[in-house]
């Protein structure tokens, strides 16, 4: 989500005036020189050597990392975005002797978290709940029909922070006729005020009903009537290959209401970034800064996801096209209903943060299949009963876990105060530790 600043040169690369796009016509051929041929041979050899070295170490490098489009990118006058994470194991990209040192560096990009906003709060407990409708027996819409039907339920989100020039820009979705608005929490992170820009261009001051950084969702409220709410569908009905479309506000408000389309590339895709692990929908629909918080529609015009991130190349820092992600509507309903009712999202917490172990690292360090525990929350039952960062989590309640979504699925069958049994690997030994679930989701 880009601030309202000058256009980035990345999107406007043109040849300088008068430069040639090819050789001049009728140029006399020149005989190649021996020195030139030798130089070409040397360059080719260097290229081959570089390629060979890269092939050898590339399995150790995380080629891609997730960009969350934090806020809208830096507003005018703010600090530049953080640098690209280092490769695992150190700057040379090789494994360290101690696997704990390796993983400490490997997971460093996921430890930041996001700040809450200080936007004035609105009243909760209105009784509004979100409804998910089935797409069964519906007829698919053309893209033209979808756009006409859905464009008026998409809004712009403009947020500002104290002592920061410019503003953060994103997308939102109308939930109700009287002004409930859904967007991403990362757009509002650290901000102190927000406006909702309606489809007709009207700017309305927004109050914060609630935000949940764990799922990257937030609900705002504006004083309005007669708005067109979006219809939400059931993301559990999606299958890989289904057609989808996104409507959002990429880069600036000059490009508001941009439609892109694609397919569902994967479902239940586990992604980790900034200290949070989410189970998301992967799509080829083009997403750019500014699309965050906007709707991902199925072919029937129902919102089945909230777009919130895309991939970025870890080496060049260039965004990767055709690999975007959206929060499933089933997750959205669970969170929105709690935020509207109570202003917070309550869930049981294990007090641990976990990450997937790359197969190459598991083989190198002879680790069993499981999840690496990157952090244990201070004051949690897990800490009190001896769970440590650097442990490998093998099972929860006797069930093998291979992804954070496996752990979340088991956790969500419990309530605060329940005991769960963790099977831990440490220093060549495997043992069980019983912990008690606390308030709120410490397992990101």
> Which residues does 178 contact at the CB level (< 8 Å), separation at least 6?
224, 225, 227
CB 304 within 8 A of CB 235: yes
* Pairing state between β 232-233 and 132-133: parallel
The sign of the dihedral angle between the CA atoms of 210, 170, 147, 280 is negative
Coil, helix or strand at residue 144? helix
CA angle at residue 74 from 167 to 84, to 5 degrees? 155
> What does each C-alpha distance from 349 to 128, 357, 417 come to in angstroms?
26, 22, 10
Rounded Cα gap, residues 171 and 182, in angstroms: 9
Rounded Cα gap, residues 337 and 219, in angstroms: 10
> Which residues does 367 contact at the CB level (< 8 Å), separation at least 6?
99, 357, 361, 392, 425
Instruction: Please give the structure tokens belonging to residue 181.
Output: 């608005």
Catalytic entry in 186, 189, 261, 403: 186
Specify the residue for token string 């092939």. Answer: 55
Catalytic entry in 292, 299, 329, 404: 292
* 218 phi, psi to nearest 5 deg: -150, 150
Rounded Cα gap, residues 304 and 134, in angstroms: 10
- Other CB atoms within 10 A of residue 440 CB: 16
292: annotated active-site residue: yes
Rounded Cα gap, residues 337 and 320, in angstroms: 34
Catalytic entry in 67, 117, 216, 403: 216
The sign of the dihedral angle between the CA atoms of 217, 62, 349, 327 is positive
Buried b (16+ CB within 10 A) or exposed e, 199-209: beeeebebbbb
186: annotated active-site residue: yes
Rounded Cα gap, residues 390 and 373, in angstroms: 6
Which residues form the catalytic set?
186, 216, 292
């Amino acid at each position: 989500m880009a601030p309202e600043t000058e256009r980035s040169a990345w999107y406007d690369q043109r040849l300088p005036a008068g430069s040639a796009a090819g050789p001049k016509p009728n140029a006399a051929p020149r005989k190649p020189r021996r020195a030139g041929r030798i130089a070409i041979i040397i360059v080719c050899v260097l290229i081959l050597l570089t390629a060979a070295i890269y092939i050898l170490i590339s399995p150790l490098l995380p080629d891609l990392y997730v960009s969350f489009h934090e806020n809208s990118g830096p507003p005018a006058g703010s600090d530049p975005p953080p640098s690209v994470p280092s490769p695992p194991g150190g700057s040379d990209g090789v494994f360290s002797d101690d696997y704990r040192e390796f993983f400490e560096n490997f997971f460093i990009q996921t430890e930041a978290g996001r700040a809450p906003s200080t936007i004035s709060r609105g009243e909760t407990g209105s009784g509004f709940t979100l409804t998910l409708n089935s797409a069964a027996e519906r007829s698919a819409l053309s893209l033209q029909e979808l756009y006409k039907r859905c464009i008026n339920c998409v809004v712009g989100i403009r947020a500002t922070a104290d002592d920061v020039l410019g503003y953060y820009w994103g997308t939102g979705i109308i939930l109700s006729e009287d002004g409930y608005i859904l967007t991403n929490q990362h757009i509002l992170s650290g901000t102190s005020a927000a406006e909702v820009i309606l489809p007709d261009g009207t700017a309305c001051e927004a109050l914060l009903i609630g935000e949940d950084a764990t799922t990257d969702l937030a609900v705002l409220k504006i004083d309005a009537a007669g708005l067109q709410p979006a219809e939400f569908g059931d993301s559990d009905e999606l299958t890989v290959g289904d057609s989808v479309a996104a409507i959002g506000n990429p880069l600036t408000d000059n490009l508001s209401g941009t439609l892109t389309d694609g397919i569902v590339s994967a479902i239940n895709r586990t992604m980790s970034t900034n200290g949070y692990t989410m189970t998301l929908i992967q799509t080829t629909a083009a997403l750019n800064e500014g699309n965050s918080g906007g709707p991902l529609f199925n072919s029937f015009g129902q919102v089945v996801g909230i777009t919130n991130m895309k991939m970025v190349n870890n080496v060049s820092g260039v965004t990767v096209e055709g690999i975007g992600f959206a929060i499933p509507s089933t997750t959205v309903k669970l969170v929105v209903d709690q935020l509207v009712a109570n202003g917070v999202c309550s869930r049981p917490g294990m007090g641990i943060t976990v990450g997937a172990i790359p197969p190459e690292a598991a083989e190198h360090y002879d680790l069993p299949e499981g999840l690496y525990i990157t952090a244990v929350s201070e004051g949690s039952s897990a800490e009190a009963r001896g769970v440590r960062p650097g442990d490998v989590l093998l099972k929860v309640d006797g069930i093998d876990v291979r992804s954070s979504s496996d752990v979340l699925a088991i956790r969500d069958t419990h309530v605060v105060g329940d005991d769960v049994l963790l099977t831990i690997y440490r220093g060549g030994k495997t043992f069980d530790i019983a912990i008690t679930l606390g308030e709120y989701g410490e397992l990101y």
